Structure 1
Amino acid sequence: MTAESAKAFEALEGQARELVALFGRAGYEFVAPAILQPAGVFLDQIGEQVRGRSYVFTDLAGEELCLRPDLTVPVSRLYLERHPQAGTEARYCYNGPAFRFQPLGPSATHPREFRQAGVECFGAADKAAADTEVLLLAVEAVRSAGLRDYRLRFGDIALFYALVDALDVPERWRLKLRHYFWRPPSFHALLDKLAKAERTEPNDVVAKLGETIAGKSQEEAEDIVSAYLDANGIPIVGNRTLREIAARLLDQAADLYADALPKEVATIIEYYLAVEAAPRAAVDKIGLIARGAGLDIDGALATVARRFDLLEEAGVDLSGAILSTEFGRKLEYYSGLVFQIEAPGMDETEPVAGGGRYDNLLTALGAPRPVPAVGSAIHTERLLAAVGGAPS
């Protein structure tokens, strides 16, 4: 290690110690979840964008593992280990490495191994208050590290779900729009295709398998697909499981028989996803779109507005903040508020901190009941670079 890299490492460690101390004073218990995690947990929950960048391997015992690509899922698993009945309110903080492949090559702001310092809040009944608590703590943390000039960016997954649920569309397309929401280019292509009543014609092999499994259960479809792969000597490679392959074929087969999406519905969704403005102005625009379309999403909008009220009451200046309906489409376990803190000179893909609400994650990990949960993570290398503590 060179003298320069040693100095940068010590600066990073010093910053992390201060952040963890701040979290501790706020009532968050320090935890250190394992770096090696069961791959299936992550591959099922984090979504395709991060799944394709995860380091996955099989150990000598045949167990598929991964280097954790984030710390929210490991901390959630730790919560369930401590509280199997998931009925206890808990607050944890952490600091440690995470790992993701960088398709454009590693850099100072996008390293393959990076550190996250963050907090997770489980079981708090007042969701808006918990959202505000976590967001305020993230703001206080970056400010305590010396970041004074920053911008807050907000999104809300629950608001999009409320819009889609209020629309008069076939249930199949409602579910598909929810599913594809996490991949914006694919989502917009799907929306355009549905509005034009276009169907993707599968190739001969997919068409034949689709006809065979159409109307079958998931288990029956898996048996048919497995038999086909075995008969043709086709191995399952990559990150897709047999279950995922069968589910996708069932999905493609069902698409061929579904009704078209009304064009006016596609237009409403596009108008909604074009909203990007100051928080209050954005809420007003979304309300106008909903009322103009005869949709009732007042409850979801009231939740968003209350959160902004609480932030302003706590002294957060929202004059430079942005609410973007497109934002937050990366980690698929999010279910409500999403936010990030952006520093000058760093673009939207390089936030110094971010987080959000993930109420469905704990049940997906095995919790016997729903657990409201919200958290945030600080990218400590980026924060250090933003305040001039390390080369950018």
Structure 2
Amino acid sequence: MVVETTRELEALEAQAKTLMNVFATAGHEAVAPAIIQPADVFLDVVGESLRARTYVFTDPDGAELCLRPDLTVPTCRLHLARHVDPATPARYCYNGAAFRIQPVDADAAHPREFRQAGFERFGDVAREEAEAKTISLVVTALEKAGLTTWTLKLGDLGLFSSVLDEAGLSPRWKKRLDDAFLRPRAFREALKAFTRGVRSAPLALPDSLLSSLDRENTEPSEAAVLAYLEEKGIELFGTRALADITANLVTIAEGREETPLDETAAKLISDYIDVSGPARTAGAKIARLLKGARAGSGAALETYDRRLALLSNAGIDLDRVMFSAEYGRTLDYYTGLVFEVHTGTAGTGSPVANGGRYDALMRAAGANADIPAVGAAIHTERLLAAVRGVSL
């Protein structure tokens, strides 16, 4: 929905007031993170898709900055600035603009500038309880704003990781599949290609360069790539370019001697990502796949069941909750539960709200360790349209 009239602006402001009141009543402090942010943190953690859609620019002093593509990362940075100990429990809420580059033919549900009303929880030791409270609070806020028709979709990156462990994959294969999983539309084809042993087309690069690259030694690897580019007269633009090029070349170097993915392992993974349907029955389907699973997989299934029970206890109608094993979001920083809320007025690619667990993000933002963190954001223009019964 394109906001053009005073009436629409007033409606959005009134809606935001309702949402923020719900968050504040639940114990979240209202904050207003800066719109302009250091680009490096975002570009390291948001994932390939969103990285290409982030507005990045350089100030006169040469610092690379960006317009925030979401408000989660800025809120993490705000928390770190406030607390010497990043594990200090805290809850924040916000309402403000975010910015993402969109295709020329993007529809009204995907504007370049849009509003997010959301909240973040840091330092909760009781993980599943915090997740259930997060989802329950999102649903409460949506309903307080007037939304009556909604469905909830869950995904679980922790379960996916457990399936990879159960498949007996090497750390290298696990990393490759973790990376591919962030691109759900391409994951199935990637899995087939990995099983057949299909590799990237060889590049005209010296073996000495590829052999010198090491994923665990970033600085010398980037130095080797930079020296090669300078030798060839190839100019770099932006601080991310060298890191991205090096990471791609490391993947190519590692793939030169990589054996194909084991077919039994690939079948287990393929069967898992086929699991989709009511959340009530999805756990049993996964348990059958992982019969005789290791302790880690069993723990992940127990977490799944416990989370559903907590959601039910919080008043969430589980008949409106679906699970999709291949759903993993497109942001690199999510590490466990992921979810999105849909209405009948927008397509599946336009959820009215989404969120999840992102324990590793605080480390990327500057902490010295992972910190328990979970949050959610509501796309307020989509919500207003859904409440009005308008299709975007």
Q: If the length of structure 1 is used for normalisation, what is the TM-score?
A: 0.94
Give the corresponding residue for 2:92. Answer: 92
Q: Using the TM superposition, name which of 374-383 and 310-319 deviates more.
A: 310-319
Contact 2:23 2:93 in 1 (8 A): yes
**Number of positions where the alignment pairs a residue of Structure 1 with one of Structure 2:** 391
Q: Using the TM superposition, name which of 105-114 and 285-294 deviates more.
A: 285-294
Give SS of 1:194's match: helix
Give the corresponding residue for 2:166. Answer: 166
Matches of 1:149 and 1:321, distance apart in 2: 12
Give SS of 2:234's match: coil
Give 1:4 shift: 5.8
Contact 2:194 2:261 in 1 (8 A): yes
Give the corresponding residue for 2:18. Answer: 18
Give 1:290 shift: 1.0
Give the corresponding residue for 1:218. Answer: 218
Q: Which amino acid in structure 2 is aligned with residue 183 of structure 1?
A: R
Does the alignment pair 1:333 with 2:302? no
The change in CA–CA distance for 1:200 and 1:385 in structure 2 (over 3 A counts) is: same
The change in CA–CA distance for 1:340 and 1:185 in structure 2 (over 3 A counts) is: closer
Give the corresponding residue for 1:5. Answer: 5
Give SS of 1:266's match: helix
What are the equivalent positions in structure 2 for 1:145-160 lying under 5 Å apart? Answer: 145-160=145-160
Give 1:206 shift: 6.9
**RMSD (Å), alpha carbons:** 2.2
Matches of 2:103 and 2:231, distance apart in 1: 35
What are the equivalent positions in structure 2 for 1:69-108 lying under 5 Å apart? Answer: 69-108=69-108
The change in CA–CA distance for 1:7 and 1:107 in structure 2 (over 3 A counts) is: farther
Contact 2:184 2:327 in 1 (8 A): no
Give 1:295 shift: 8.5
Give the corresponding residue for 1:47. Answer: 47
For structure 1, the 5+ residue unaligned runs are none
Give SS of 1:319's match: helix
Give 1:207 shift: 5.9
Does the alignment pair 1:230 with 2:222? no
What are the equivalent positions in structure 2 for 1:1-392 lying under 5 Å apart? Answer: 5-205=5-205, 209-211=209-211, 213=213, 217-237=217-237, 240-291=240-291, 297-388=297-388, 392=392
1:256-276 CA distances to partner (integer Å, 9 max, x unpaired)?
A: 112322111111101100111
Matches of 2:215 and 2:368, distance apart in 1: 31
Q: If the length of structure 2 is used for normalisation, what is the TM-score?
A: 0.94
Aligned-residue identity in percent: 45
Matches of 1:279 and 1:66, distance apart in 2: 38
Give SS of 1:124's match: coil
Q: Using the TM superposition, name which of 194-203 and 41-50 deviates more.
A: 194-203
Matches of 2:388 and 2:296, distance apart in 1: 47
Matches of 1:269 and 1:320, distance apart in 2: 26
Q: Which amino acid in structure 2 is aligned with residue 46 of structure 1?
A: V
Contact 1:43 1:239 in 2 (8 A): no
For structure 2, the 5+ residue unaligned runs are none
